[in-house]
Structure 1
Amino acid sequence: MARSKLLVSIVVGATVGAALSMLDRTTREKTVATTKKMKETISYYAEHREELQEVIEQKVSTVKELVDNVTDNVNMITEKVDEFKELPSTIQGMIHDTKSAFAVPNEE
């Protein structure tokens, strides 16, 4: 039974593509600069774990606030949709009341 070569082909294609892109000088320079910056950042946070924890806590707090705001907005929109669902019956009742107020009584 033959094994699927999809994963191997994807890895080989990505490797060849990355190698070809490194032939461009600008790409090489940007890659080296980005790699150095990542290394510096990782080294810094490895030595200053408390600061990393604070940054993570701030990001988590920001995400929680965003989720709370989105939840509040969704709840408000749901309430408005419910109000709009009730609106046709309210309008229909007002029309009926208006008709009744202006209707001429039938004289027999």
Structure 2
Amino acid sequence: MGQNKLVKSVIIGAVVGGIISMFDRATRESTVATVKTTTERAKYYAQNRDEFMELIEGKVAQAQSLYDTAQTNITKLVENADQLKDLPQTIQSMVGDTKQAFSSESTHDTHNNQ
């Protein structure tokens, strides 16, 4: 029962809020223009269903393309993250090799100077 009152109260609040917002002239004019444009589009597409279907198919293709691109980018990010996991070991190995090269070089230089 409490759920019914909540939904009913939310709907009443939305309607009252909408009515109050219509006291503003700019809001009222914008709303009327939007309703007219939407009504005209609905009538146009009701008479031109093939064009509407093409529009919908185009939007679906765009969404699919966006999804594919996002999926590719996510895959690349995961691969790069995996490569970054190995990076500390690679750097540590390089530092060790560099230290070893310098220490053997300085040992070699010390023997040559004597």
Instruction: Quote the residue 2:61 is aligned against.
Output: 61
CA distance in 2, matches of 1:36, 1:100: 79
TM-superposed deviation, 1:33:
1.5
When the two structures are superposed, what TM-score results if normalisation uses the length of structure 1?
0.83
Instruction: Quote the residue 1:40 is aligned against.
Output: 40
CA RMSD of aligned residues (A): 1.7
Instruction: Quote the residue 1:89 is aligned against.
Output: 89
CA distance in 2, matches of 1:47, 1:83: 56
TM-superposed deviation, 1:13:
1.1
When the two structures are superposed, what TM-score results if normalisation uses the length of structure 2?
0.79
CA distance in 1, matches of 2:95, 2:16: 73
Q: Kindly report structure 1 stretches of 4+ aligned residues shifted beyond 4 Å.
A: none
Instruction: Quote the residue 1:20 is aligned against.
Output: 20
**5+ long unaligned stretches in structure 2:** 109-114
Number of corresponding residues = 103
Task: Choose between structure 1 and 2: higher helix proportion.
Answer: 2
> C-alpha offsets along residues 31-71 of structure 1, whole Å, 9 cap, x if unaligned?
22211111110000001011011111111111111111111
**5+ long unaligned stretches in structure 1:** none
Instruction: Quote the residue 2:76 is aligned against.
Output: 76
> Identical aligned pairs, as a percentage?
45
